[in-house]
Amino acid sequence: MNRRTAARLRSDSGQVAIELLGMAPTIVITLVLLWQCVLLGYTYTLAGNAADEAARAATAATGDRTAACRAAGEQDLPAAWRDGADITCGAGGTGYVTADVHLKVPVLLPGLIGFPIPVTGHAAAVEEVKD
């Protein structure tokens, strides 16, 4: 072996590129998991807001409370979450109107597929007395 070849074998030239290639899958998986956590949190926020809006609309409705409740709950939901939304409204008989919103958490891209376990938002509002 000549001196030039021996010096090249001892140098750490290219080591950063090799380490980056080794870490790339770990970096990508970490970013994907963080994005999935963002989608989960956003879905919880959407479910809670939709339940609040649905309960408020049901208390102010003069006609069909259930239809007003469902319409208000779906109104502000993005299309990707609206398709799988399950909104139930009811009167507890204790002066409260309740609304439950069940949304599917999307997997990576909203609108494609969702996790089978839904996120639930629950809200209640006091019934308004109409004279």
pTM confidence score? 0.78
118 vs 48: CA distance, rounded Å: 13
Fill in the DSSP letter of residue 88: E
Residue 77 scores a pLDDT above 80: yes
User: Is the Cα torsion angle 27, 29, 33, 39 positive or negative in sign?
Assistant: positive
> Tens digits of per-residue pLDDT, 85-108?
889 988 766 778 889 999 988 888
| Confidence label for 49 from pLDDT (cuts 50, 70 and 90) | very high
Closest CA to 85 of 60, 54, 56, 118: 118
pLDDT for the residue 9: 66
